[in-house]
Chains A and B, each alone.
Chain A
């Protein structure tokens, strides 16, 4: 079970859009709809922002959206705001009731 592959860092200016990719295999991302994304501000608990590939929990701004194509899932943040600066992690069901996280992506708002 290998970690899903995410870019180590991405950046964007306020108001712009950024996309974070999460690449797995047929045994995880490509095989199931259970891909989720978490926002993690250091020192705080991670927060669920996307589940089931593209669903937003109540209270999460519409600026956050998710999608999937084949073995790659993506998180897009539009209209970047300063408070979006955080670490972002994808997570996928990986069969046999196991889960796997991505390595994490640090988003910098310039």
Chain B
């Protein structure tokens, strides 16, 4: 099992561009979580998705950010019109079910906005 995969590992964007971050959960996992880590901070929850459904997006900024987890393919975190404050590490985690299963983390995508 290759574990949770994220790509790209590093992403550089200029202000105003779009950033697309991808997460492939572990085989057999249908739950995906996105977290953001700003410099010198802990990970902060953004959104929780199941296949084709957003379950909890209480941590998502109200504008410019969106997430999806389609029936086929990876989960996508999309940031439109990026600003310098979006520079952070974005981590994806997956779990097999809702009932207290461990979340397994990917290696993260480091986004740098110039």
Partners in one complex: no
**Residues in chain B within 8 A of chain A (CB atoms):** none
**Residues in chain A within 8 A of chain B (CB atoms):** none
